[in-house]
Amino acid sequence: MLFWIVIAVLTFVVALALMLPLMRAGVTVSAGDEGEAAVYRDQLQELERDKALGLISDQDSSYARAEIGRRLLAASAAPTGLTDAPVAPRSHPLAQLFICLCLPAIGLGLYLTTGSPDMPSQPLAARLENPGGNLDLLVAKVERHLAANPDDGSGWDVLAPIYFKSQRLGDAELAYRNAIRLNGASPERLGGLGETLIASNEGIVTDDARSAFEAALRLQADNPRADFYLALAEEQAGKRAEALAAFKALAERSPPGAPWLDLVNQHIAANGGEADVAAATPANPNAPGNPSAADVAAAEGMATGDRMAMIRGMVDGLDQKLKEDPNNFEGWMRLVRSYAMLKEPDRAVGALKAGLVAFPADGEQGKTLIASARELGLPVEEALK
């Protein structure tokens, strides 16, 4: 009930503010002014005194007396006294009717149509207490808790990966550093910090990121994520031989069908090595556009030139299949990496842009596509335009 009272009062105030200019009377008009005639009489007396003192010639005195006399006659001809009267106000019946009736009716109708008048109020505090499945409210709840308890390392642990997936990279870096400071270093926290620093620098493995991955390896020797990014750092530094050796070592240590093997083999080929085609078999061989077991077996017995020709044919075939059926996330990942391996960055960016049409950048799969493209050193911003 209080809500409707407030709405009624606000409606009345707004209507009154709009009506006042329409109801205001006109300005007053004066019909005459005795004071004006008195001024002209004083001027005639002063003129006579100036003439007697010799301050003005007879000719100038005559001209001045004639002009003042003309003005005095004009002022004396009007009725004396104040006869001011207000001008009748203008009438705006249609505008007044619209403001009084139509405007409130339209506002009420829009609210009843698009609003929720029967929904009980939900203060922010109550919503934070019961956020349900709303991720934004969950994040707000943790942030509110951390504002009051900044030394709660578990809260920073929760927020850090969420910030990273939401592309709030500055907040993610701060959260990871706070979690490491409060809860101690771990391979997962150090790896998350390293990936955040790389994403913040457009896919470049910075010195700080490298230090984070090296620290993660000291805590966990078998850490494919750290191995991959350290090998990528060598590649970006122009040390192709060292990068090739590191990527090959990672491929040899990885279990068959590991999800990162395909990307590792792309970097092996990009650094002058020969990818292990069998190891690069995708986790889902039945996905549209992926090579069959027969294709893999045939590629193993080919010479390098023939194998590259086969790869080119497979890539072109995959490109065509994705145009016909774009709902193939693994296919878009593979196509972008394949063009990058073949040193065709323009076609890789084009594939990324087409893939983001099928899997938008704000979704999990779209973000994975973008992260993979950044790791390959592609200009992701061109695809996001």
107 compared with 87, residue with greater pLDDT = 107
Q: pLDDT: is 6 or 24 the higher one? A: 6
- Tokens found for residue 58: 């007879």
Could you give the CA distance from residue 103 to residue 100 in angstroms, rounded to a whole number? 7
Q: Does domain 281-385 have CATH number 3.30.70?
A: no
Of residues 241 and 93, more confidence is placed in 241
Between 153-165 and 187-200, two packed helices, what is the crossing angle to 10 degrees? Answer: 40
> What is the average per-residue pLDDT within 37-50?
78
226 vs 36, residue with greater confidence:
226
Residue 242's pLDDT is what? Answer: 93
pLDDT digits (tens, 9 = 90+) for 74-86: 766 655 444 444 5
pLDDT at 307: 54
What is the rounded distance in angstroms from the CA atom of residue 281 to the CA atom of residue 297? 11
Q: Lowest-pLDDT range, 5-9, 33-37, 169-173, 371-375? A: 33-37
pLDDT tens for 92-140 read: 677 777 777 777 777 777 777 776 656 555 554 554 455 555 667 778 8
Lowest mean pLDDT among 131-135, 212-216, 334-338: 131-135
Q: Which residue has the higher pLDDT, 225 or 371?
A: 225
Average pLDDT over residues 333-342: 82
Sign of CA dihedral 247, 222, 332, 195: negative
Residue 90 has pLDDT above 60, yes or no: no
Q: List the single range of 153-162, 241-250, 271-280 with lowest mean pLDDT.
A: 271-280
Write down the pLDDT at residue 319.
86
CA dihedral 360, 361, 365, 370 (to 10 degrees): 140
Query: Residue 43 in 3-state DSSP?
Result: helix
Residue 261 half-sphere exposure, CB side, CA atoms within 13 Å? Answer: 18
382: its two tokens: 């061109």
* Confidence band, pLDDT 50/70/90 cuts, at residue 209: very high
pLDDT band at 30 (very low <50, low <70, confident <90, very high): very low
Q: pLDDT over 90 for what percent of the chain?
A: 18
Average pLDDT over residues 170-177: 94
Read off the pLDDT band of 334 (50, 70, 90).
confident
Beta bridge partners of 29: 85
The residue type at 71? R
Are the CB atoms for 333 and 282 separated by under 8 Å? no
- What pLDDT, on a 0 to 100 scale, did the predictor assign at position 234? 93
pLDDT confidence bin for 180, thresholds 50/70/90: very high
pTM: 0.45
Number of residues that make up the chain:
385
Domain residue ranges in the chain: 146-237, 281-385
pLDDT of residue 24: 61
Residues 353-368: what's their mean pLDDT?
86
CATH number for domain 146-237, candidates 2.40.390.10, 1.25.40.10, 2.30.30.100, 3.10.129.10? 1.25.40.10
Res. 14 pLDDT band, cuts 50 70 90? confident
SS3 readout for the chain: CHHHHHHHHHHHHHHHHHHHHHHCCCCEECCCCHHHHHHHHHHHHHHHHHHHCCCCCHHHHHHHHHHHHHHHHHHHHCCCCCCCEECCCCCCHHHHHHHHHHHHHHHHHHHHHHCCCCCCCCCHHHHHHCCCCCHHHHHHHHHHHHHHCCCCHHHHHHHHHHHHHCCCHHHHHHHHHHHHHHHCCCHHHHHHHHHHHHHHCCCCCCHHHHHHHHHHHHHCCCCHHHHHHHHHHHHHCCCHHHHHHHHHHHHHHCCCCCCCHHHHHHHHHHCCCCCCCCCCCCCCCCCCCCCCHHHHHHHHCCCHHHHHHHHHHHHHHHHHHHHHCCCCHHHHHHHHHHHHHCCCHHHHHHHHHHHHHHCCCCCHHHHHHHHHHHHCCCCHHHHHC
pLDDT value at position 287? 46
Q: What is the pLDDT of residues 285-333, one digit of tens each?
A: 444 444 444 444 444 444 545 556 666 777 888 888 888 888 888 888 8
- Name which residue leads in pLDDT, 176 or 81: 176
Residue 186 banded pLDDT, cuts 50, 70, 90: very high
**Mean pLDDT of all residues belonging to the chain:** 76
Residue with tokens 């994975």: 368
Least Cα distance to 135 among 372, 364, 358 occurs for 364
